[in-house]
Amino acid sequence: MTFEQILFILFAGIVVGGAASVLLQRNPLYSAFSLITTFVGLACLYVTLKAQFLGVVQIVVYAGAIMMLFVFVIMLLNIRDEDTAVDPNRFLVYLTIPLGAILLGALLYVVTKVNLAQPTGDEGGTVERIGTNLLTKYLLPFEATSVLILMAVVGALHLAKREKE
Amino acid sequence: MLAEYLPTLLFLIVATGIGIALILIGNFLGPKRPSPEKLSPYECGFNAFEDARMQFDVRYYLIAILFIVFDLEIAFVYPWALVFRELGVFGLIEMGVFLALLFIGFIYVWKKGALEWE
């Protein structure tokens, strides 16, 4: 049991535990906080895979910005704790067991077949490498991203702005 | 290289552990004698007469969205700032185009009045 394996089990446990907690919580805000825990665990996994910039950006963008939007929406819609009313489509729950088993089987098959090459060298995901690649090899996607962000700004403005009375 | 992150991991473990320990110690060592008055929310001495949740203003959501957009822009500026010297004028022009397009977005937001609070 090497140290990397222990770390992987620890972080993967945080990810899976957080994801399960998202489903099992009754209060929707607690679900959002569990999702934040999942993202932090994922960021730690990225760092163990030598993708440091991706790990930090995951926390800043995902856990910082996107989850903030989630919490805003929960507060905007004024969602209460779930009450335990009986669902008329209750039988669909029993359909999830065979479907979940099929999905799990497919995932296990793929995991045993994939080639787990270790990331080579130390400069794989460092910020300098990403910066150089972003501005030389992947320049067109980089500039297209700015247009995409511009579209997001215009769209958000039209959706969220109140009409001038 | 991974060993360089060991202090960060220790920091995370110690911080989480102290937080959990504080909550658990308070849970086990504190007396448990709840009463209806103790369990009701605190309202400066009054009895609560209304639900705490009120109509949420959508301007807060707009501020949040604008923050996210410009946060993503900053996340792109970080890698460029590190390799700025090697790329020279070419890199400056590239990042200039990126920032100019987003500056247009900022001008649009400004002129549309989304930065006004009232």
Closest CA to A158 of B110, B37, B62: B62
Q: What is the CATH number of domain A3-123?
A: 1.20.120.1200
Average pLDDT, integer, range A79-84: 63
Percent of chain A with pLDDT over 70: 85
What is the ipTM for the molecules in this complex? 0.76
Of A122, A145, A153, the CB nearest to B109: A153
Partners of A157 on chain B (C-beta within 8 Å) are: 62, 108-109, 112, 114
Average pLDDT, integer, range A116-139: 75
pLDDT of residue B100: 94
CA distance A92 to A102: 16
Mutate to test the interface with B, among A71, A76, A153 (most CBs of B within 10 A): A153
- Which parts of chain B sit beneath pLDDT 70? 1, 48, 50-54, 118
CA distance B83 to B39: 57
The beta strand positions in B1-118, using DSSP E, are: none
Cβ atoms of A45 and A15 closer than 8 Å? yes
pLDDT at A85 over 60: no
Shortest distance between the Cα of B14 and any Cα of chain A, in A, equals: 15
Partners of A149 on chain B (C-beta within 8 Å) are: 69, 72-73, 101-102, 105
Q: Which amino acid is at B92?
A: L
Cβ atoms of A143 and B97 closer than 8 Å? yes
Determine whether the interchain pair B98/A146 forms a contact, defined as Cβ–Cβ distance below 8 Å: yes
Mutate to test the interface with B, among A33, A73, A135 (most CBs of B within 10 A): A135
Put simply, whether A135 touches B (Cβ < 8 Å) is: yes
Partners of B5 on chain A (C-beta within 8 Å) are: 47
Where in chain A are the domains? Answer: 3-123, 126-165
Put simply, whether B104 touches A (Cβ < 8 Å) is: yes
Determine whether the interchain pair B72/A65 forms a contact, defined as Cβ–Cβ distance below 8 Å: yes
DSSP tally for chain B: helices H, then strands E:
4, 0
Closest CA to A149 of B88, B108, B47, B31: B108
Determine whether the interchain pair B66/A156 forms a contact, defined as Cβ–Cβ distance below 8 Å: yes
pLDDT of residue A165: 43
Q: Which amino acid is at A134?
A: L
* This model's pTM is above 0.90: no
CA distance B2 to A124: 13
Cβ atoms of B101 and A148 closer than 8 Å? no
Tell me the domains of chain B and their CATH numbers: 2-112 (1.20.58.1610)
pLDDT at A57 over 60: yes
Q: Which amino acid is at A66?
A: I
